[in-house]
Structure 1
Amino acid sequence: MNTFKTPTLAGTIKPANDKSMTHRALILAALATGETVIVNPLRAADTTQTMHALQMLGVPITIDAQHHCIKVQGIGREGIKAYVEDLATPLHFDFGNSGTTTRLMIGLLAGLNVPATITGDASLQRRPMDRIVDRLTQAGAQITMTRGHLPLTIHRGITNGLIDERLQVGSAQVKTALLLAGLGANVPVTIVDDFQTRDHTEIMLATFGASITVTGTTINLPAQIQLTGQLIAIPGDISSAAFWLVAGAVIPESTVTLANVGVNPTRTGILAVLERMHADVKLRARHQVNGEPVADITVRPTANLQATSITKAEIPQLVDELPIIALLATQAQGTTEISGAQELRFKESDRLATVGQVLTQFGANIQVNDDGFTITGPTRLHVPEAPVDDFGDHRITMLIIIAQLMTGARLEPRATTNVNVSYPNFIRDLEELLHV
């Protein structure tokens, strides 16, 4: 990475395309019949895992780099099952670092009754899978795990004639896995989502032609669903945009515009937090694509940021943004309390511990609690005396880089390959905003 001379950010970029939506578009396209063209997908390490998994199930997928799209020739549930039945040996998947691929594919494979072994890298093997597997075994699946974690083996798919579940954790991955299990098994699904987790799956199912209904917090997906290939456009990912939203709000003389960002209400918790903290953030050019709200977001620095409180009810709407929000809180007047965020302990790293350690090295006044943080500001950050560990976590790496910018010092080179998990062009976008 280059060494930059000034931390001021200015310009317009389109942040990484939405990771959650790309995963879902690929899987639903495979279950559909006919061609789906996914325009502006996120082509990153995580979504590549999902694409390769579907190709192992016999789904033809091609990348059209010239037109920034992926073309999926959907073969439907029956086509996938027929392909797998002709294989000589059971499938073995290694999903690397992708928790989304893993959890969604567990649901899909259990629904399709596809025997398979699933593993991943050391980080993924530390992440809990019982929250999904327990639900699927209650529906008749036979799945063995390694103390609640990967590696796991699916011996038999679900056998129940329906899936009826109230979510026990605020996880859209669990919700989507159950919906995919129902689709794969061709049985009706009812899910009560009191957490109001991100609803990309529900919106996209409707786009593919499913007669899904959402009444309050209850989701109903009937059996006998036939999905049809579609043109799906993927907007920018607000979780990736979050790093620039925070940087633009605190780095003097900055003006950053993030173009074509998804602003689905189940994902915009960070915008609500920024508003409460009196940040200068404006949304323009609002429109909808495939049922998803999209906008351009402009952020400028604010001298009088105010502390806030984030409680358990908000966590599902901003869980991936909490590390960078913690950094923002170091620049706010007063004490910011973040609670109900135990889910951070089960990410690529224990993000409660890793965020606390990283920000402490930068001089932040941060206390790590069992379920969140207590952060008192404003604090002038300084360059750490010792090297800062990113714990192999892509969001921690990006957090460190933004924190370095905020010190006002020259940006020191560091390894950034793990940002390829979610934001391969992060450094390129940084250079563009810094005009280097």
Structure 2
Amino acid sequence: MNQIIHPITSIKGSIEVPGDKSISHRAVMLGALSLGNTHIHGFLNGEDCLSTIRVFRQLGVEIDRVAETSYIIKGKGLNQLQEPKYVLDVGNSGTTIRLTAGILAGQPFHSVLIGDDSILKRPMKRIKEPLSLMGAKIDGREEGKYAPLSIRGGKLKGIAYHSPVASAQVKSAILFAGLFADQKTTVIEPFQSRDHSENMLLQFGAKLEKTNQEVTIWPSPRLEGQEVNIPGDFSSAAFFIAAALLVPNSLLRIKNIGLNPTRIGFLQAMQQMNGQIEILNLHYEGNESVGDILVKSSNLQGITISGDWIPKIIDELPLFAVVATQAEGITKVTNAEELRVKESDRISTIVNELRQVGVKVEELTDGFVIEGKQRIQGGQVSTHGDHRIGMAMAIAGLIAKEPIIIQQAEAVNISYPQFFEHLRQISTIK
């Protein structure tokens, strides 16, 4: 499917974005492992999160949809999942395959996880190694480097694991496996990654302690079903933050957004670039901070980000590259090599797609350098099957000289099926 994005004159009004993708995944998983019912409100009905529901139904969990974005998970408890009859297909979801692998590592049965072509290229050794150290028998292509993953779980032992990467998926897989271990399990990261798993484990009743870079979980808790109200996904809101900053004469309020401090690196970067952004109505849902974001058109200045910035902004870096084209001076990103093993090689992909529409970009092995301001010309680009590339290039289209045609635009459905519709609702076309 192709999508044409026309230049616009302003962004006005207010908007609510779909539920947080990370929290939606984890609510289903922890609901499945809890006793009693978990009621989820604000669930993201994107393809990735629906893959998680499908997988856990195959593991014997009853999951009922009771409204458009509301589900009831009838929990089985920690040790009552059923051995699946068929291969478990996670679709495009890296979160589903890695976090579910941690849970399956503690189950006394055999299972196989597989996904689409993108999943088959993504690195799985980063979870295979710690889960194997805990006692699970895991194999895959190239000695477990890639899916499909064959998992024979069972009795696990607690470990202290120094993760070579700051990855919420790796950390979460180990913590979920730690629920089934014989003693406490600790994960130490080089930088703190997003902490939705820790917040939700605590909400469901796990015994867990955390500092910025170290998390310890104790085994065999009594997890209890919860009422989970999922806020809007910050990573989805980021595209509208960027649009309102970049398009002249804009004023936009984005309502009920998750503002977890480990997720809002993009917002902090925009403020550091002189973006006019205000947080309103700040409050808590469960263990997550939530609020409204008010954004005005701004004249941005280039900055450099690296190191502990990166885990907090990793999903928004393709969008950050688009914003950088409109900032005065030089914007530089380094230490972001993790982008090369996402749904696509996001460094190479965003650099090449920006070049397709006339932007000059220097590609680095671990990031990029962009000098602004530059005029985006318009033209034809591709998502390469990556939802965040597609949405980033849509924002570029709003400020381009000519329309931008996005090929494979259906990739956006992975995380935000209503994205193009919502973008039209707040846009004034030239």
Per the normalisation by structure 2, the TM-score is 0.95
Matched residue, 1:199: 195
1:291-306 equivalent positions in 2, closer than 5 A = 291-303=287-299, 305-306=300-301
Tell me the CA shift for residue 383 of structure 1: 1.1
Deviates more, 1:397-406 or 1:2-11: 2-11
1:35-184 equivalent positions in 2, closer than 5 A = 35-66=37-68, 68-80=69-81, 83-84=82-83, 89=85, 91-147=86-142, 148-154=145-151, 156-157=152-153, 159-184=155-180
Residue 143 of structure 1 aligns to a residue in which SS? strand
Contact 2:192 2:212 in 1 (8 A): no
CA distance in 2, matches of 1:416, 1:362: 17
CA distance in 2, matches of 1:293, 1:246: 21
Tell me the CA shift for residue 217 of structure 1: 2.8
CA distance in 1, matches of 2:366, 2:413: 28
CA distance in 2, matches of 1:140, 1:210: 21
1:250-261 equivalent positions in 2, closer than 5 A = 250-261=246-257
Is there any run of 5+ residues in structure 1 with no aligned partner, and where?
Answer: none
Tell me the CA shift for residue 106 of structure 1: 0.9
1:228-259 per-residue CA deviation (whole Å, 9 max, x = no partner) reads 00100100111111111111111111112110
Match of 1:290 among 277, 281, 286: 286
- 1:321 matched to 2:316? The reply is yes
1:130-186 per-residue CA deviation (whole Å, 9 max, x = no partner) reads 0000111112221111121111211x2254431321221110000100111112446
CA distance in 1, matches of 2:139, 2:55: 20
Contact 2:7 2:397 in 1 (8 A): no
Tell me the CA shift for residue 2 of structure 1: 7.3
Matched residue, 1:312: 307
Provide the alpha-carbon RMSD of the alignment: 1.7
Contact 2:61 2:76 in 1 (8 A): yes
CA distance in 2, matches of 1:72, 1:116: 21
Match of 1:347 among 342, 347, 368: 342
CA distance in 2, matches of 1:97, 1:217: 28
- 1:395 matched to 2:388? The reply is yes
Contact 1:353 1:368 in 2 (8 A): yes
- 1:421 matched to 2:418? The reply is no
Residue 135 of structure 2 aligns to a residue in which SS? coil
Match of 2:27 among 25, 28, 31: 25
Tell me the CA shift for residue 188 of structure 1: 2.4
- 1:376 matched to 2:371? The reply is yes
- The 1:180/1:298 distance shift into structure 2, 3 A limit, reads same
Matched residue, 1:232: 228
CA distance in 2, matches of 1:277, 1:270: 10
CA distance in 1, matches of 2:131, 2:308: 26
Residue 8 of structure 1 aligns to a residue in which SS? strand
CA distance in 2, matches of 1:218, 1:400: 36
1:72-94 per-residue CA deviation (whole Å, 9 max, x = no partner) reads 000112221xx32xx6x4x4112
Per the normalisation by structure 1, the TM-score is 0.93
Matched residue, 2:11: 9
Contact 2:305 2:333 in 1 (8 A): yes
Report the AA paired with residue 382 of structure 1. Answer: Q
Matched residue, 2:277: 281
1:13-57 per-residue CA deviation (whole Å, 9 max, x = no partner) reads 111210001101110000000000011011110001101111111
- The 1:181/1:245 distance shift into structure 2, 3 A limit, reads same
Contact 1:179 1:189 in 2 (8 A): yes
Contact 1:278 1:306 in 2 (8 A): yes
Residue 298 of structure 1 aligns to a residue in which SS? strand
CA distance in 1, matches of 2:323, 2:4: 25
CA distance in 2, matches of 1:239, 1:355: 17
Tell me the CA shift for residue 292 of structure 1: 0.5
1:377-402 per-residue CA deviation (whole Å, 9 max, x = no partner) reads 11011112xx3121111111111111
Tell me the CA shift for residue 218 of structure 1: 2.3
Report the AA paired with residue 276 of structure 1. Answer: Q
Tell me the CA shift for residue 192 of structure 1: 1.8
CA distance in 2, matches of 1:45, 1:252: 34
CA distance in 1, matches of 2:400, 2:59: 49
CA distance in 1, matches of 2:368, 2:5: 32
Matched residue, 2:240: 244
CA distance in 2, matches of 1:28, 1:128: 24
1:172-218 per-residue CA deviation (whole Å, 9 max, x = no partner) reads 00010011111244642212234111011111111111221124532
Residue 278 of structure 2 aligns to a residue in which SS? strand
Match of 1:405 among 370, 379, 398: 398
CA distance in 1, matches of 2:323, 2:415: 21
- 1:220 matched to 2:206? The reply is no
CA distance in 1, matches of 2:146, 2:102: 15
Report the AA paired with residue 53 of structure 1. Answer: V
Contact 1:187 1:224 in 2 (8 A): no
- The 1:109/1:187 distance shift into structure 2, 3 A limit, reads farther
1:398-423 per-residue CA deviation (whole Å, 9 max, x = no partner) reads 11111111115446575521111111
